Amino acid sequence: MQGELKIPRHIAFIMDGNGRWAKKRLLPRKAGHREGVVALKRMIEECEKAGVEMVTFYAFSTENWKRPQDEIDALFKMVKEFADKHLAEYVKRGYRIMFMGDLTKLPKETVDALRKILSEAKDNTGMIVNIALNYGGRDEILHAVNRILDTGVREVDMQTLSDCMYTGGLPDPDVIVRSSGEKRLSNFMLWQAAYAEFIFIDDYWPDFDAKIFRQILEEYSQRDRRYGNVRRIN
C-alpha cells in the first residue's frame, strides 16, 4: 500500500558487499561488481516507480584506490560500459544525471563516456541519478572550502558552504542505506548526512531487489524525524 508509505525525496545507497557476494559463490570479485551493476539498475527502477526525486549511489571512494590495480581497472571499465549502455538509456527517459567526486583521476575512456552523458542529459528535468566516483566526504568539504577561498571571502556561512558542495542546491539525503551489514559511513556525504536516517541491511548489494526496497520504505516511514524538536516534523 504505497499510500501509507513515506517516500524520501532523496535516498542514498552505499553499495557494499559485492566482493563477499562473489566469494560466497567462489567467483572472482569482478563477478560481484558485475552483479552489483544489475542491482544498481534494479534500484534505479524502484526509485522511479516510488516517485523518489533524487537517488545517490556510492560507487568508488577516495580510499578505494588502495585496492589491487586489476580490480580498479575492471571497475572503471564497468562504469564506462554502464554509461554507454544504461545511462544513455536513462538520459532518453529524461533523468537528470550527475556525478560527484574528482573525475580528473579516472581513466580517460571512462571520463569521456561520463562527459558525453552529461552533455546529452543537460536539458533533462526528471529524477536525479547521482553517482559518487572517486568521492570522499572530507575531500568534498576541502574542495568546497577551497572554492570559497578562491573568491577572496574572509568568513564563510552555512549556506555558502552548502552551496559549494557537489550537491549544492539539491536536497540532503533523507535516508542513507548501506548493504552488507557494515555500520559505518566510510567517508560518505559527511556534510549532507547531518539529519539523514540510517538504514543498515544485512544482504549484500547484488541481492538488492524490489522486496528489500519495499522494506527500506517501510522502515523509513516509521522513523520519527524530529530535527531537534520535540515532535515529528514530517
Q: Which residues bind Mg ion (CB under 5 A)?
A: 16
The stretch among 77-85, 97-105, 179-187, 192-200 that binds ligand IPE (CB under 6 A) is 179-187
Nearer to Mg ion, 16 or 139 (CB): 16
- 188 Cβ contact list (under 8 Å, min separation 6): 12, 14, 58, 61, 132, 135, 137, 176
| Whether 13 contacts 131, CB under 8 Å | no
123 is catalytic: no
Q: Cβ 205 to ligand IPE, closest distance in Å? A: 6
Question: In sequence order, which residues have a C-beta less than 8 Å from that of residue 92 and are 6 or more positions away?
Answer: none
64 touching ligand IPE, by CB under 6 A: yes
* Dist CA 23 CA 33 (whole Å): 12
* Nearest residue (CB) to ligand IPE, 8 versus 17: 17
Per DSSP (E only), the strands in 171-213 are: 175-178, 197-200
Question: Is 94 in contact with 125 (CB distance < 8 Å)?
Answer: yes
Among 50, 143, 186, 200, binds ligand IPE (CB under 6 A): 186
Q: Which of residues 127-166 bind ligand IPE (CB under 6 A)?
A: none
Question: What residues make contact with ligand IPE under the rule CB under 6 A?
Answer: 14-20, 58-61, 64, 75, 180, 182, 184, 186
Active site residues: 16, 64
